Amino acid sequence: MSDIISCTCLCGAVRFEIARPEKLNDCNCSACRRYSPLWGYSPPAEARFLQGEGTTIGYARGEKSLAFHHCPTCGCLTHWQGLTDGNRAFNLRLADNPADIEGIRIRRFDGADSWTFLD
């Protein structure tokens, strides 16, 4: 188990690393149900792009408060970025070593309705 989790999209064009978070969010909003990410949150100083920052393609829907970003080559969902603030989260399903996320608590978030945790 590593304190730093390295992640890469399928083609390798986008790479990032994030400090091992205390929890991951599994959201059920209409976008996350389709994308199926596990969102990892970390202070900006503890998460950084190693490659591909600024090359991803963002998609903002609905209220346009955040944009889901994916690799322009392979299409892997990499992160979301707040459009009204500096918040962002990374898709830890892209972990280079899936064992690195084992044991991290997964919280189910009701982004479809109540905006509360379901556990």
Q: Which residues contact 97 (CB under 8 A, 6 or more apart)?
A: 2, 6
How confident is the model over 63-72, as a mean pLDDT?
95
pLDDT tier for residue 70 given thresholds of 50, 70 and 90: very high
Q: Residue 14 corresponds to which tokens in the numbers above?
A: 């986008």
How confident is the model over 21-45, as a mean pLDDT?
94
Q: Which domains does the chain have, with CATH numbers?
A: 4-109 (2.170.150.70)
What sections of 12-56 are H helices per DSSP? 30-35
For the stretch 13-31, pLDDT in tens is 999 999 999 999 999 999 9
